[in-house]
C-alpha cells in the first residue's frame, strides 16, 4: 500500500511542476520580459525558415510539373480521340451524301429496270465486293456496272455480300464485245486495264471507238465497256489486242448496279 501511494505522490508532483512552469512562463510573457528574446528568436530563425521553404518549393516544383504534364497528355489523348471520331463521322456523312446523289441520278434514268439491284461497292482485304447477296437477289455471273459501264461480274455469292471479279482481272475472259465498226473480240484484263483481245489483224480499229457487249448468256447486248485507246500487238501475228479506257472505277464508286 505504501508503494502505491508513493507512486501517486510522484505523479502529482510531476503535474504540479508542469503547472507551475506554465504559470511562470505565462506571468513572464504577460509582463513582457520575453518579448526581446522572442524578437531575436524570430530574426534568427527567419533565414532557416526561408531556406526550408525554398527547399520545399524545389522539391514540389518537379512534382507539380509532372502532374500538370500527365494532365495535359490525358487531355491531348482525349482531344485526339474526339478529333478522330469527328473525322469518321464527317467521312460517313460524305459517303452517305455521295451515295444519295448517285442513287438519285440512277433513279432518274429510264434505263433502270425492276431486275436491277442497286448496292454499295466496297473492298475487303483488297477483294472487290458488293454489299448485297442471295437475300437481295444477287446470283453468280451477274454483271456489275458503274454509271452504266460494265466493270465486272459477280463470282461468289453469300447471304448479304458477294465477291466481284473485275474486267481488269487476268482471270476474267468470258465477255465478248464489239466496236462501233463491228470488230469483235474477247474482253480480257491485264491486271491494270481492260483489253479487247483476239481481234483479227486485218480489221481496222480507230482510237475513240466505243466498245459494247455483243450479247450472250447473262450478258445483254449493247452495254458500254469503254473506248479504244491504242492498238497493240505484233503485226506479224494473226490477232492483235486493243487497249480500252474505262472512265469509271469500281474502287471509287459509292454505288453500283447489278443485273
Quick: pLDDT tens for 189-243. Answer: 988 899 999 999 999 999 999 999 998 988 888 889 999 999 998 888 999 999 9
Residue 206 lies in a domain: yes
> 149 - beta bridge partners?
146, 224
* CA nearest neighbour of 154 among 146, 169, 166: 166
Higher-confidence residue of 108 and 170: namely: 170
Where would I find the beta strands (DSSP E) of 82-183?
A: 117-124, 127-130, 143-146, 149-157, 162-166, 175-179
The cell numbers describing 163, all together, are 465477291
Residue 239 lies in a domain: yes
Residue 219 lies in a domain: yes
Tally the domains of the chain.
1
Residue 70 lies in a domain: no
Residue 171 lies in a domain: yes
Share of the chain above pLDDT 90, in %: 25
Residue 135 lies in a domain: yes
Residue 173 lies in a domain: yes
The answer to whether the pTM exceeds 0.95 is no
Residue 236 lies in a domain: yes
**pLDDT of res. 1:** 44
CATH of the domain at 146: 2.40.10.340
Q: Which domain holds residue 132?
A: 115-259
Amino acid at each position: 500500500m505504501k508503494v502505491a501511494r508513493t507512486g501517486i505522490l510522484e505523479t502529482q508532483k510531476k503535474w504540479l511542476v508542469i503547472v507551475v512552469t506554465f504559470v511562470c512562463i505565462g506571468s513572464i510573457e504577460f509582463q513582457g520580459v520575453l518579448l526581446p528574446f522572442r524578437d531575436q528568436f524570430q530574426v534568427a530563425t527567419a533565414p532557416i525558415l526561408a531556406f526550408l521553404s525554398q527547399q520545399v518549393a524545389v522539391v514540389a516544383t518537379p512534382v507539380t510539373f509532372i502532374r500538370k504534364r500527365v494532365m495535359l497528355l490525358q487531355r491531348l489523348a482525349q482531344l485526339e480521340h474526339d478529333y478522330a471520331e469527328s473525322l469518321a463521322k464527317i467521312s460517313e456523312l460524305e459517303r452517305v451524301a455521295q451515295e444519295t446523289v448517285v442513287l438519285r441520278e440512277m433513279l432518274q434514268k429510264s434505263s433502270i429496270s425492276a431486275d436491277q439491284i442497286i448496292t454499295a461497292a466496297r473492298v475487303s482485304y483488297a477483294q472487290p465486293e458488293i454489299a448485297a447477296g442471295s437475300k437481295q437477289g444477287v446470283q453468280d455471273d451477274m454483271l456489275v456496272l458503274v454509271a452504266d459501264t460494265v466493270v465486272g461480274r459477280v463470282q461468289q455469292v453469300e447471304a448479304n455480300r458477294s465477291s466481284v471479279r473485275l474486267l481488269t482481272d487476268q482471270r476474267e475472259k468470258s465477255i465478248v464485245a464489239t466496236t462501233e465498226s463491228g470488230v469483235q473480240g474477247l474482253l480480257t484484263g491485264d491486271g491494270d486495264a481492260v483489253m479487247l483481245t483476239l481481234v483479227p489483224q486485218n480489221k481496222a480499229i480507230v482510237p475513240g471507238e466505243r466498245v459494247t457487249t455483243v450479247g450472250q448468256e447473262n450478258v445483254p447486248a449493247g452495254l458500254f465497256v469503254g473506248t479504244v485507246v491504242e492498238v497493240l500487238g505484233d503485226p506479224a501475228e494473226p490477232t492483235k489486242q486493243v487497249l480500252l479506257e474505262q472512265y469509271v472505277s469500281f474502287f471509287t464508286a459509292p454505288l453500283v448496279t447489278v443485273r
